[in-house]
Structure 1
Amino acid sequence: MSKFVPKSNWVRRFCKQYGKNFFVEVDQEFMTDNFNLLFLEGENYQRSLNVILNESESESEPDAEHNYDMEAAKLYGRIHSRFILTDHGIELMYQKFQKGVFGTCPRVLCTRQKVLPIGMSDTPGKEMVRLYCPKCKEVYIPKSVRYAKIDGAYFGPNFPQMLFMAKPWAQPKRSKAKYVPRLFGFKIHPQAFGSESSDRQEADN
């Protein structure tokens, strides 16, 4: 029987912060396995990891503690992007998906389909987190400003696909509904907007 490892208090506090509800609590065992953290080493890596694991020495200066906490948050985000691709990580994120924690698709014809967080790049600092709709297969910017500073790399570009590969029954059918512009109930002919608009619509098709 594997030894029980208690959750990190730092991780719990981090995930309860305002705007951090997209994150799940990474297992302590995952973070203490060096193999899972390969190539994450960098400046202040060990100190940041110690903060996350509640193993850091207390600092006398509040400013220093704040800086260490910010560095730890960045490292935790990178660890998080790996953890949510594991079986347990996928399960925890799936539970949030089912509850609608990540929100719903803003596209009307997707009928409030629940969405998932996604990163357009796995390199930190490139782009903020986006929302992926599994019904229309489109990516959207979160409405709430609370998520404006969450790095997309902390979720990565592969997470939604991994979740639906692990749970194919959760994948909704792709939406075939398409909005058709009408005027007084009649479908508008492309030539009604002029030849230039007609040529553009034909090119789009």
Structure 2
Amino acid sequence: MITDNLESDEEIQDDLRGNLDLQARLLYGLIHARWIVTARGLAKMLEKYKRADFGRCPRVLCQSQPLLPVGLTDVPYEKSVKLYCGRCEDIYSPKSSRHGSIDGAYFGTSFPHLLFLVYPNLIPPKSGPAEFGLNPRASDLEGGRRRRIRDEQEAQSEGVGEAGSTAAVALKADRYRPRIFGFQVNEVAKLQRWQEAVRDKQIARLEELEANGAM
């Protein structure tokens, strides 16, 4: 079935057809995850990245940075695919429900970080203008601005009447950790340790302000 060498569909029994289709889809997805980390696969995905086929980061300070697909686990049927921003180093859920239903294992946990290792000139800066060749079109910027306004309005409407500790919310936030074949990226690991130390200080300051009734 994978190589399309079946002479006739009648060779497959009806009771096995559904299970066979499911297993073939799984095998194709896992092959795809291995192929995109090869030299040819990275080159093909690089073209899609430059065209921003996977979308752009919704954060204002990221200036519509193109996103890359990433899986949170290499084990199938556990997590759906997410979108990784190389500028803010955060992940987002796809806007399309059709794309959001794709298994994250079909892209794997290593792809975006391996792409930046192979093409280090594409590593986006943490501030300033976007890299040459990845600048968004005016229509993309306008569309992103409208989406941000809509998302902010929805968040405000959902948050009406809700009260909670800012520090408690910050403590519940999960931190995404870039990994290549299970190993955390060295430079990113050092940066994240520093960021987490700063975050802990900010949380302690928020807790102190809340205890004193300043918030």
**TM-score when scaled to structure 1?**
0.59
After TM superposition, give the deviation of residue 143 of structure 1 in Å: 1.1
Question: Paired residue for 1:53?
Answer: 3
Deviations 1:88-132 (A, max 9, x none): 010011111111110011112111110000000001111000000
**Which structure features the higher share of helix residues?**
2
CA RMSD of aligned residues (A): 2.8
- Taking structure 1 as reference, are residues 55 and 111 closer, same or farther at Cα in structure 2, changes over 3 Å only? same
Greater mean deviation of Cα atoms: 128-137 or 138-147: 138-147
Cα distance in 2, alignment partners of residues 79 and 144 from structure 1: 24
Which residue, 31, 43, 46 being the options, matches 1:79?
31
Cα distance in 2, alignment partners of residues 91 and 204 from structure 1: 46
Structure 1: runs of 5 or more not aligned: 1-50, 177-195
CA contact (8 A) 1:105 1:133 kept: yes
Structure 2: runs of 5 or more not aligned: 129-164, 168-200, 207-215
Cα distance in 2, alignment partners of residues 204 and 87 from structure 1: 47
Cα distance in 1, alignment partners of residues 99 and 30 from structure 2: 17
Counterpart residue identity of residue 120, structure 1: L
Count of aligned positions: 137
Question: Paired residue for 1:112?
Answer: 64
Cα distance in 2, alignment partners of residues 99 and 63 from structure 1: 43
Q: Secondary structure at the match of 1:88?
A: helix
Identity of aligned residues (%): 43
Counterpart residue identity of residue 124, structure 2: P
Counterpart residue identity of residue 123, structure 1: V
Question: Paired residue for 2:125?
Answer: 173
Question: Paired residue for 1:122?
Answer: 74
Cα distance in 2, alignment partners of residues 162 and 134 from structure 1: 12
**TM-score when scaled to structure 2?**
0.57
Question: Paired residue for 1:151?
Answer: 103
Q: Secondary structure at the match of 1:52?
A: coil
Corresponding position: 1:140 with 2:92: yes
Question: Paired residue for 1:203?
Answer: 204
Question: Paired residue for 2:53?
Answer: 101
Counterpart residue identity of residue 170, structure 1: L
Cα distance in 2, alignment partners of residues 109 and 175 from structure 1: 7
